Amino acid sequence: MRVLVTAGGTEEPLDGVRRLSNISTGATGLELARTFAKKGAEVVLLHAERVAVKGLELETAAFLTFDDLGSLLKQQLGSRHFDAVIHLAAVSDYRLSSLEVDGQVLEAAGSGKIASGGQLVIRLSPTPKLIDGLRGWSLNPDLRVVGFKLTDDADPDSRSAQVRALVKRGVTDLVVHNDISGIGDGLHLASIHSRRGILEKTSNKNELADALYRLLADGEHS
């Protein structure tokens, strides 16, 4: 089984030294990549530049921005057969459209540093969902896609609705759901969903990796 794993967060430059990013560490993606490789899968890991992969005996490639990750996904999926993509990367939902500094509009992020002290207005535009394009870029028409949904919502019904919405879009075979409230101090609560409902519940990254490997190796999907 050949698996493509994405891990870590993309970053979108605002100027030469400032970036729009997120809190993703890439730790879960690294754990999944290691576990799948130990179990015999051929793993390719696409990771954010700030994710430390030294000593990891896998084929790897680093990305910084949304565009970087998109290019790597297209290159990998279009050049060889993958059985599955585990798409954990925390991809920027927005990127810079324009900057306005003291009333002067800058159309794109420059290489210099915007001087501090001025009135700064940042306009962002939404990015497309990379997960929507995975099957279309793939040489394998039967590519299995694992998506991830992180929520930060105290209402269980609202969390469930967000997960169901991703499942119903039909771009994934499996969806892993975490809520911020269930992550921390060695705890990493997760549930694995398909169109048939919840398939597995796990309490840490090791259990999650084992469960996903088993489901994909057994051909379990929607």
Q: Which residues pair with 149 in a beta bridge?
A: 177
Give 186-217 pLDDT, tens digit per residue: 889 999 999 999 999 999 999 999 999 999 99
* Domain boundaries of the chain, sorted by first residue: 2-99+125-217
Q: Which of 199, 159, 162 minimizes the C-alpha distance to 182? A: 159
Q: How far is CA 68 from CA 20, 37, 49, 63, 101, in A?
A: 15, 24, 11, 5, 27
- The domain 2-99+125-217: what is its CATH number? 3.40.50.10300
pTM of the predicted model over 0.85: yes
The mean pLDDT value for 106-115 works out to 72
> Is 50 in contact with 44 (CB distance < 8 Å)?
no
Pairing of strands 42-48, 2-7: parallel
Q: How far is CA 131 from CA 64, 128, 187, 207, in A?
A: 17, 9, 27, 24
Q: Which of 118, 124, 105 minimizes the C-alpha distance to 13? A: 124
Residue 189's CB is within 10 A of a number of other CB atoms, namely 17
Give 123-138 pLDDT, tens digit per residue: 899 999 999 999 999 9
Give 146-162 pLDDT, tens digit per residue: 999 999 987 889 999 99
The values of phi and psi at residue 210, to 5°, are -65, -45
**177: Cα separation from own chain's centroid:** 12
**What is the Cα gyration radius of the chain?**
18
